């Protein structure tokens, strides 16, 4: 059967385990699809290696060994992660030292599940940007409109899913770097709670804010990926998914904060509000909630936040050979980042901790808070070639997503509409620190009502399906 790689992981599970479908067949589909449409998702692509990994997964199935929902499922990995046998560039012009090829706990969990790694996807240089551009390498193209950016910094992740070269993608999120490309490409992105997944084995941007997580074409795929990697999930992946489905819309109290809807481009606020109206009609309890902490958090972010100082310290300590090669969009800000006084950094960190506690108290009466993932349409590639326009668009695209990182929330973005430019619109669902199961359950309940991305907004026209 053609196009098995576009089926949900859950739908393929029995066929993979019975041998009706082989992982080797899925991988051949992935190889055929990779860059067929010129979308350029990958920095490093090694078809012979992924074929061997698929053969190993099939052999384990034949021997009666079942290592969970990702066994035999092709997965792409952002080129910030160390993956044995692959070079790590982290978006830099030159390859990083071998130290950064060592696998951390997340990739080791992926390995233990016998998920074939299709390759390493493009990232913004050192993950420092939300647009998705990188002057050192050919930028991934947004499958919905190749003249628009894919979102960053996990720029190739969502692209790999729609081009059909992967069924799950690993990304990282410091201020929105999973949820931005998920929203921009019409996929699902999961920002895990700080500390829930180890970030050892990733090239860091901000030790205080970095998180890792999956992107997928539907929420159930993201949940199965989460279960396979998460160190705290005791249930089997499919059992974990079934347990989360026990929560229905009538069980959910949703808080809507108007701040997230401010200054939205045409069709974005309207698309999210229409989706919320459908959820209310289906029994979800929706209430307005004011979150004044958001405004102060954004002000702190605009003045450099935590990431700027931590990034500058990392580059100076660990990446000195690469400093002279930095993307001009990064290097133009580097002197200011280096010169942030330590007292300012420490004061910001303390204040953000206070704001995080404040928002946790304020949202205690609701299960989740929601808003548009991105307030702007993914910019055209041409528009962000101007330095000033790049900086303005970069700050705008991060505006909503940064809140979950700065204020210690977990979050999921899922597609719910197309905007006035026929680009995907994401609904962002946020919950308190360590409420990852809750936010995933609510995302499943919402998707069960609104439909998957394919049901709701279709597939990118370039694919021709």
SS (HEC) of 23-59:
HHHHHHHHHHHCCCCCCCCEEEECHHHHHHHHHHHHH
Nearest to 186 by CA among 458, 462, 461, 463: 458
**CA distances from residue 301 to 18, 131, 387, 464 in whole angstroms, order as listed:** 51, 17, 19, 41
* 79 vs 64: CA distance, rounded Å: 33
Q: State how far the Cα of 279 lies from the Cα of 286, in Å rounded to an integer.
A: 9
Of 133, 118, 237, nearest in space to 184 by CA:
133
Q: How far apart are CA 145 and CA 148, in angstroms?
A: 6
| Residues taking part in catalysis | 78, 153, 177
Q: Give the HSE-up count for residue 172: Cα atoms under 13 Å, Cβ half-sphere.
A: 35
| 265-279 pLDDT tens trace | 999 999 999 999 999
Domain ranges of the chain: 4-463
Parallel/antiparallel/unpaired status of strands 117-121 and 75-78: parallel
Do you know the residue count of the chain? Answer: 465
How far out from the chain centre does Cα 375 lie? 17
Give the span between the Cα atoms of 214 and 412, in whole angstroms: 10
What's the CATH number of domain 4-463, 1.10.420.10, 3.60.20.10, 3.90.1300.10, 3.20.10.10?
Answer: 3.90.1300.10
Q: Which distant-in-sequence residues (6+ apart) come within 8 Å of 25 by Cβ? A: 4
CA distance 437 to 227: 10
Dist. CA 121–CA 45, nearest whole Å: 8
Evaluate whether 284 touches 256 at the Cβ level (below 8 Å): no
CA 156 to chain centre: 10
Residue 81 · residue 41 · CB < 8 Å? no
Q: What is the pLDDT of residues 229-254, one digit of tens each?
A: 999 998 778 999 999 999 999 999 99
| Token pair of 251 as six digits | 């069980």
Q: Is the previous residue joined to 339 through a cis bond, with omega within 30 degrees of 0?
A: no
Ordered per-residue pLDDT tens for the chain, 465 residues: 468 999 999 999 999 999 999 999 999 999 999 978 899 999 999 999 999 999 999 999 999 999 999 999 999 999 999 999 999 999 999 999 999 999 999 999 999 999 999 999 999 999 999 999 999 999 999 999 999 999 999 999 999 999 999 999 999 999 999 999 999 999 999 999 999 999 999 999 999 999 999 999 999 999 999 999 999 998 778 999 999 999 999 999 999 999 999 999 999 999 999 999 999 999 999 999 999 999 999 999 999 899 999 999 999 999 988 998 998 877 877 778 888 999 999 999 999 999 999 999 999 999 999 999 999 999 999 999 999 999 999 999 999 999 999 999 999 999 999 999 999 999 999 999 999 999 999 999 999 999 999 999 999 998 876
Please say whether the beta carbons of 152 and 180 come within 8 A: yes
Upper half-sphere CA count for residue 356 (Cβ side, 13 Å): 22
């Amino acid at each position: 059967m053609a196009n098995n790689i576009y089926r949900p992981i859950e739908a393929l599970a029995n066929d993979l385990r019975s041998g009706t479908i082989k992982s080797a067949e899925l991988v051949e589909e992935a190889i055929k699809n990779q860059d067929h449409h010129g979308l350029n998702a990958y920095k490093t692509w090694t078809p012979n290696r992924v074929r061997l990994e698929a053969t190993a997964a099939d052999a384990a199935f034949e021997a009666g060994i079942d290592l969970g929902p990702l066994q035999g499922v092709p997965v792409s990995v952002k080129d910030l992660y160390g993956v044995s046998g692959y070079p790590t560039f982290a978006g830099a012009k030159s390859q990083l030292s071998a130290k950064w090829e060592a696998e951390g706990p997340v990739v080791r969990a992926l390995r233990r599940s016998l998920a074939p790694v299709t390759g390493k996807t493009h990232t913004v240089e050192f993950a420092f940007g939300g647009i998705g551009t990188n002057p050192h390498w050919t930028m991934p193209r947004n499958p919905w409109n190749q003249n628009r950016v894919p979102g960053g910094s996990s720029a190739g992740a969502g692209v790999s899913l729609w081009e059909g070269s992967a069924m799950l993608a690993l990304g990282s999120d410091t201020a929105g770097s999973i949820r931005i490309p998920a929203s921009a490409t019409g996929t699902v992105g999961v920002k895990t709670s700080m500390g829930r997944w180890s970030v050892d084995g990733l090239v860091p941007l901000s030790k205080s804010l970095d998180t890792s997580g999956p992107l997928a074409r539907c929420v159930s795929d993201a949940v199965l990926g989460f279960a396979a990697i998460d160190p705290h999930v005791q249930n089997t992946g499919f059992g974990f998914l079934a347990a989360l489905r026990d929560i229905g819309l009538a069980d959910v109290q949703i808080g809507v904060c108007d701040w997230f809807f401010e200054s939205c481009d045409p069709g974005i606020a309207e698309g999210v509000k229409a989706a919320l109206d459908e959820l209310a009609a289906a029994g979800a309890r929706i209430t307005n909630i004011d979150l004044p902490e958001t405004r102060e958090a954004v002000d702190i972010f605009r003045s450099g936040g935590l990431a700027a100082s931590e990034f500058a310290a990392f580059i100076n300590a660990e990446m000195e050979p690469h400093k002279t090669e930095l993307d001009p969009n990064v290097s133009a800000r580097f002197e200011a980042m280096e010169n942030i006084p330590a007292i300012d950094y420490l004061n910001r960190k303390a204040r953000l901790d206070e704001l995080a506690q404040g928002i946790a108290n304020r949202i205690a009466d609701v299960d989740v808070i929601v808003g548009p993932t991105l307030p702007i349409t993914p910019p055209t590639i041409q528009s962000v070639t101007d330095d000033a326009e790049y900086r303005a668009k970069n700050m705008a695209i991060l505006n909503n997503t940064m809140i979950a990182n700065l204020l210690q929330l977990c979050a999921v973005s899922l597609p719910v509409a197309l905007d006035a430019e026929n680009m995907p619109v994401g609904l962002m669902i946020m919950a308190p620190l360590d409420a990852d199961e809750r936010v995933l359950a609510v995302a499943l309940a919402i998707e069960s009502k609104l439909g998957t991305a394919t049901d709701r907004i279709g597939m990118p026209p370039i694919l021709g399906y």
